[in-house]
């Protein structure tokens, strides 16, 4: 496996290695993961989704 | 006055006992037998294991909580069950052995009208030579399964970080320590929390991090993987897991049975029958789980453990244990009421009940070594089952012994899981997932076995916030703080 810890996950892909066929996020997708405003919205959405499943399960 | 005895004050038993005490009031008695003086929110042990929380943050004293709830608390471990009583005792009873300071080793027979077994898993480190022995964890690896283990793991991790700062490369090997392990999710959380911490410490370039597990594919998690709705596609957890491992530059090896652990290396056998050795400087390998080894005796005192317990030591309940090969498995194999088929007043909940079979398709190497995850019973199902079983028992006590039983099959129940991938109020991430149902039902949901409307997952800071809030919420609930019954399991 490559040892380059670059910003882009794709630099860690090892041609024909076990991680060759997966998808990797680009810089924008990674930035969104810790973007507070976007994540605050996701927080609400995930909570709603979880509450629905929790209610269905009780 | 009826007496309910609950064995085990963990996630499932604590839920069962506290709800039963509330529903039964002072007219009946609830007894909890559990060996620890403290309750542990086990999911947060991951953060203890990377030095981001202390043992005190994830535990609290049980005695004042049980005193408040009117529960008779016996700090002891159950040793055996006499479901028919004995020649000298008419009523069924449990033999317990105190662990309470000052009374260690003292034995007592506790009679019951109803019994709930919620003793969780025995951490079977002895199953793999070198991983541990009958006394528990060995000297070559660390564990995060208990708060004390996690404190030790954090100090070992610190030493590795210091070595890396001094210019010495370190290899981290995290995963499962046997071909029949469950709880891959905990190892998954730990490996990414380590990756996050070494990055924070500025030594990521000095760390080689590798996953080793008994899953046949990355993202199986012992539940045969799951398909999540994402961008209009139903995407396998394999894709998401491989993506995350690649992005964080974590190598992996799957389909592995760890056959031996030595100082600095493990021997393993793979599903294709090949064998090899992997080195490490730091390793956390989850042990296989078994029942805690309770015995059972009939009235005459003869051993009848195999009647009450499955060979793996878990208590037999209303599951279909003779389903046979994977092709014959049905969602209906999974138990609904968790009542023992022979003794109507005995129930099991959480990890303590014997599942009918795994959830992931069983596999073995050409040498005949089974390498297949056993079924997980995570926090939410364990809590829900504990509450449902308590409800059934309370109805029997309050409404009469023919009151119908409440049901909660894992094949009709969903679960919300949040897997931490690093802690930090603005830098943390976690994979937030819902899955419905936990056990796939391929008749009802052809193809993926699950309802993709209710099965989703995403990774981000929001998931971390939820994980952190849940930490406080569940400890608040377990302490029976005001409004505790409003917080779902
Ligand atoms: C490191 C780690 C991280 C995890 N993270 C998550 C997560 O993020 N989300 C999630 O949903 N699940 C998680 N889990 C799984 C979760 O902890 C379990 O699903 C849950 O604890 C099961 O509840 P239980 O009551 O069956 O067992 P436990 O919580 O283990 O409780 C069993 C209790 O029985 C007691 N006991 C043992 N022997 C005896 C005896 N002989 N007599 C009486 N009492 C006895 C034990 O001391 C314990 O108190 C994690 C597990 C681990 C190990």
Distance CA B456, CA B133 (A): 40
Residue A7 falls within a domain, yes or no? no
Break chain B into its structural domains and give their ranges: 3-123+290-399
| Among the partner residues A1, A4, A56, nearest to B454 by beta-carbon distance | A56
Q: Which helix (H) or strand (E) holds B163?
A: helix B147-165
Q: Which of B36, B40, B43 to mutate for ligand 1's pocket (most ligand atoms within 8 Å of CB)?
A: B43
Longest dimension (CA), chain A: 47
Mutate to test the pocket of ligand 1, among B5, B9, B10 (most ligand atoms within 8 A of CB): B10
Element (H or E) spanning B305, and its range?
helix B305-308
Beta-bridge partners for B111: B93
Give yes or no for residue A3 having a pLDDT over 50.
no
What burial class does residue B8 get, using C-beta atoms within 10 Å of its C-beta: 0-12 exposed, 13-18 middle, 19+ buried?
buried
Supply the range of the domain harboring residue A54: 25-58
Q: How many domains does chain A have?
A: 1
C-alpha to C-alpha distance for B175 and B153, rounded to whole angstroms? 14
Angle between helices B184-200 and B147-165 (to 10 degrees): 40
> Is residue B334 within 8 Å of B439, Cβ to Cβ?
yes
CA B312 distance to own-chain centroid: 15
Question: Measuring from atom 1 of ligand 1, which residue has the nearest CA?
Answer: B145
Q: Which of A3, A21, A43 sits opposite B465 (nearest CB)?
A: A43
Q: Is A15 on the interface with B (CB under 8 A)?
A: no
Joined tokens for residue B398: 């309050």
From B454, B479, B457, select the one nearest B466 (Cα to Cα).
Answer: B457
On whether the B3-123+290-399 domain is CATH 3.50.50.60, my answer is yes
Distance CA B122, CA B50 (A): 24
Q: Ligand 1: list residues with CB < 6 Å.
A: B 7-13, 33-36, 42-43, 45-46, 77-78, 118-120, 144-145, 183, 186, 292, 350-352, 377-380, 382, 417
Residue contact B247–A56, C-beta within 8 A: no
Protein residue closest via CA to atom 21 of ligand 1: B11
Query: A54 vs B461: CB contact, 8 Å cut-off?
Result: no
Cβ-Cβ contacts under 8 Å for B199 (sequence gap 6 or more) = none
pLDDT of residue B231: 83
**Domain assignment of residue A49, yes or no:** yes
- Name the pTM for this structure: 0.97
- Nearest atom in ligand 1 to the alpha carbon of residue B33 is 43
Question: What is the band of A4 on the pLDDT scale with cuts at 50, 70, 90?
Answer: very low
The CA radius of gyration of chain A, in Å to the nearest whole number, is: 17
Instruction: Tell how far the Cα of B15 is from the centroid of ligand 1, in angstroms.
Output: 12
pLDDT tens, residue order, chain B (489 aa):
999 999 999 999 999 999 999 999 999 999 999 999 999 999 999 999 999 999 999 999 999 999 999 999 999 999 999 999 999 999 999 999 999 999 999 999 999 999 999 999 999 999 999 999 988 999 999 999 999 999 999 999 999 999 999 999 999 999 999 999 999 999 999 999 999 999 999 999 999 999 999 999 999 999 999 999 888 899 999 999 999 999 999 999 999 999 999 999 999 999 999 999 999 999 999 999 999 999 999 999 999 999 999 999 999 999 999 999 999 999 999 999 999 999 999 999 999 999 999 999 999 999 999 999 999 999 999 999 999 999 999 999 999 999 999 999 999 999 999 999 999 999 999 999 999 999 999 999 999 999 999 999 999 999 999 999 999 999 999 999 999 999 999
What are φ and ψ of residue B173, in 5° steps? -125, 115
ipTM, two decimals, is 0.92
Looking at the CA of residue B186, tell me the nearest atom of ligand 1. 3
Is A15 domain-assigned? Answer: no
> If 0-12 CB within 10 Å is exposed, 13-18 middle and 19+ buried, where does residue B305 land?
middle
Which helix or strand (DSSP H or E) is residue B170 part of?
Answer: strand B170-176
Of B23, B26, B20, give the one whose Cα is nearest residue B6.
Answer: B20
Q: Give the DSSP H/E element, type plus range, for residue B60.
A: strand B59-61
| Residue B417, burial from CB neighbour count under 10 angstroms (0-12, 13-18, 19+) | buried
**Structure token digits, residue B52:** 């981001």
The answer to whether B61 and B472 are in contact (CB under 8 A) is: no
| Beta-carbon-side half-sphere exposure of residue B338 (alpha carbons within 13 Å) | 33
Cβ of B249 within 8 Å of Cβ of A1? The answer is yes
């Amino acid at each position: 496996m490559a040892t380059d810890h670059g910003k882009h996950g794709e630099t860690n892909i090892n041609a024909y290695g076990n991680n060759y066929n997966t998808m990797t996020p680009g810089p924008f997708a990674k930035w969104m993961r810790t973007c507070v405003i976007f994540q605050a919205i996701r927080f609400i959405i995930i909570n709603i989704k979880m509450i629905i499943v929790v209610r269905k399960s009780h | 006055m009826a007496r309910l005895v609950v064995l085990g004050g963990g996630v499932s038993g604590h839920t069962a006992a506290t709800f039963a005490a509330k529903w039964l009031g002072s007219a009946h008695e609830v007894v909890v037998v559990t060996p620890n003086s403290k309750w542990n929110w086990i999911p947060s042990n991951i953060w203890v294991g990377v030095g981001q929380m202390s043992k005190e943050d994830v535990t609290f004293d049980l005695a004042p909580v049980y005193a408040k709830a009117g529960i008779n608390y016996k700090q002891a471990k159950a040793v055996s069950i006499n479901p028919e009583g004995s020649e000298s005792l008419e009523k069924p009873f449990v033999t317990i052995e105190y662990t309470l300071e000052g009374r260690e080793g003292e034995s007592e027979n506790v009679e019951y009208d109803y019994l709930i077994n919620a003793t969780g898993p025995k951490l079977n480190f002895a199953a793999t030579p070198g991983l541990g022995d009958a006394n528990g964890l060995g000297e070559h690896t660390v564990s995060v399964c208990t708060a004390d283990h996690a404190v030790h793991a954090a100090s070992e991790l610190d030493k590795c970080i210091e070595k890396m700062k001094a210019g010495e490369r370190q290899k981290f090997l995290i995963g499962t320590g046997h071909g029949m392990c469950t709880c891959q999710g905990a190892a998954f959380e730990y490996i990414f929390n380590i990756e996050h911490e070494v990055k924070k410490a500025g030594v990521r370039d000095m760390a080689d991090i590798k996953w080793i597990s008994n899953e046949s594919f990355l993202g199986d998690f012992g539940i045969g993987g799951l398909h999540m709705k994402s961008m209009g596609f139903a995407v396998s957890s394999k894709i998401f897991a491989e993506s995350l491992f690649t992005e964080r530059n974590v190598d992996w090896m799957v389909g592995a049975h760890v056959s031996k652990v030595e100082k600095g290396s493990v021997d393993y056998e793979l599903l294709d029958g090949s064998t090899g050795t992997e080195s490490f400087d730091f390793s956390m390998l989850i042990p296989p789980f078994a029942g805690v080894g309770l015995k059972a005796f009939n009235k005459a005192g003869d051993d009848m453990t195999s009647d009450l317990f499955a060979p793996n030591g878990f208590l037999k309940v209303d599951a279909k244990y003779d389903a046979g090969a994977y092709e014959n498995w049905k969602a209906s194999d999974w138990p609904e009421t968790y009542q023992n088929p022979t003794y109507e007043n005995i129930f099991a909940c959480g990890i303590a009940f014997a599942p009918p079979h795994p959830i992931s398709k069983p596999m073995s190497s050409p040498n005949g070594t089974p390498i297949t995850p056993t079924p997980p019973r995570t926090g939410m199902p364990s809590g829900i089952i504990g509450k449902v079983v308590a409800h059934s028992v309370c109805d029997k006590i309050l409404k009469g012994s023919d009151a119908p039983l409440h049901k909660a099959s894992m094949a009709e129940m969903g679960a919300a899981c949040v897997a931490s991938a690093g802690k930090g109020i603005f830098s943390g991430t976690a994979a937030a997932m819902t899955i419905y149902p936990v056990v796939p039902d391929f008749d009802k949901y052809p193809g993926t076995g699950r309802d993709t409307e209710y099965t989703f997952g995403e990774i981000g800071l929001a998931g971390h916030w939820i994980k952190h809030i849940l930490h406080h919420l569940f400890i608040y609930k377990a302490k029976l703080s005001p409004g505790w019954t409003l917080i779902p399991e």
